[in-house]
Structure 1
Amino acid sequence: MPRKSASVRREEILAATVEEIESTGLRTLRVADVAQRLGLSPSLVIYHFVTKEALVAAAFAHAGENDLYRARRLAATRKPAAQRLRDVVQWYMPSGSTRSWKIWIDGWSAGLFDDGVKSTFSSLDREWKTILSELIVAGLEAKEFRFSHAREATEASANGPTGATVSEMADDCATRILAYLDGLAVQLIFNPESVTPATLANWVDAFVARELD
């Protein structure tokens, strides 16, 4: 049997690390447990990633990029911008997909004390905001959204409406939407008896509608 390339082996290790974090949590994660999932030696895992901290940061980046890949595909369809935005938001939500929010909540906590993880999460967050912001701008240009607060801001400008101003407003809107989704995800996981997936979906639809009106 031919030996696997370094890139393939790294992908396998990253996937196994994500599975281990999802199964047992980041606090008790051991390189040996990741290695055992693949039938490898811990030294081989360290050979590819040098430290456990580097492995964890790379694993979160791997999981995040997989989610972003799907989001970009949803955003690139030929549907109206409003529907594409809704599809992306539904994908981000902690329901209706196979994504596990446990690992992200675990990662947020780790990012408070690990600069590598914090940097990874900051980069992923910027990517998500870019996707949402571009869809919001596309919806404005197609007159699918009113976005009255943005229009009022540009009309008040001495220079009149500018793409940069609208873009900045769209970025702010994307930030608020993601912050709202993140907070609801925490509630859904820790208080499932009071925040069901159906309730969350209704709240999100109403919140996004108000943001874009």
Structure 2
Amino acid sequence: MARKNPAVRREEILAATVEEIEATGLRTLRVSDVAARLGLSASLIIYHFETKEALVAAAFDYAGRQDIDRARKLAAGTDSGREVSAGTVSARERLRAVVGWYLPSGSSRSWKIWIDGWSAGLFDEELKSTFAAMDREWKSILARLLEEAIAAGECAAPTSGVHAPTRRAETPTGGTDARATRILAFLDGLAIQMMVNPEAVEAEQLRVWADDFLTHELG
């Protein structure tokens, strides 16, 4: 039997690790359980990743990249693998599509693993760095879409600051980076509420709140 390409093997291991985290949680994750999913030895997994901590960080990066790649396609106006012309889908619509994908009801990835990972990242610098890098990428996607929307007249231009005396109350403050940060923070909070306390926040209500908040941030 031919040996698998190392890159292919690594991807298989990462996918299995994500599945194991989603099924049983990060706290009880064992390298041997990941190996059992693939019919491999635990030593082979350690050969590829050296430590359990490195495996976990790489697995979250792998899962996050998939979601970010999907978000980039939505931001670019790609629909079902088909590129549409630049003027067909407005920046405002594409921004809403990205936000919809980020929500628990829109993403194919369970939010359980992200909440689990964020908690572990408080005590694991490698994992914390992985999440920080993904957070920056999400913000950059949103900020670029906001910039496009402003340029196209679909979104209010940045204001000088919170205390600008002539600012209307409904006008969002700060530049696109600040607005992108607020949008992500709001979505993260809603997602945690929905996952931890589903009786209080239903999926449909979450979408309505997210849409209302985005409308305000767009101005």
- TM-score w.r.t. the length of structure 2 is 0.88
Question: Which residue, out of 187, 190, 207, partners 2:213?
Answer: 207
Show structure 1 runs of 5+ residues with no match.
Answer: 157-167
Structure 2 counterpart of 1:187: 193
| Partner Cα distance (2:66, 2:107) in 1 | 13
| Partner Cα distance (2:135, 2:42) in 1 | 31
Amino acid at match of 1:125: D
Question: Which residue, out of 109, 126, 135, partners 1:116?
Answer: 126
Q: Percent identity over the alignment?
A: 63
Q: Which runs of 4+ in 1 moved over 3 A?
A: none
Structure 1 counterpart of 2:99: 89
Q: 3-state SS of the aligned residue for 1:113? A: coil
* 1:176 pairs with 2:186: no
Which runs of structure 2 are paired with 1:102-141 in the superposition (5 Å)? Answer: 102-141=112-151
Amino acid at match of 1:196: E
| Partner Cα distance (1:152, 1:54) in 2 | 43
| Partner Cα distance (2:91, 2:196) in 1 | 33
| Partner Cα distance (1:152, 1:109) in 2 | 35
Deviation at 1:4, TM superposition (A): 0.5
1:60-111 deviation line (CA, Å, top 9, x unaligned): 0000000000000000113100000000000000103321000000000010
Amino acid at match of 2:139: K
Deviation at 1:51, TM superposition (A): 0.2
Which runs of structure 2 are paired with 1:17-166 in the superposition (5 Å)? Answer: 17-77=17-77, 78=86, 79-147=89-157, 150-151=158-159
Report how many residues are paired: 198
The structure with the greater share of residues assigned to helix is 1
- Aligned CA RMSD, in angstroms, stands at 1.2
Show structure 2 runs of 5+ residues with no match.
Answer: 78-85, 165-173
Deviation at 1:52, TM superposition (A): 0.2
- TM-score w.r.t. the length of structure 1 is 0.90
| Partner Cα distance (2:208, 2:51) in 1 | 43
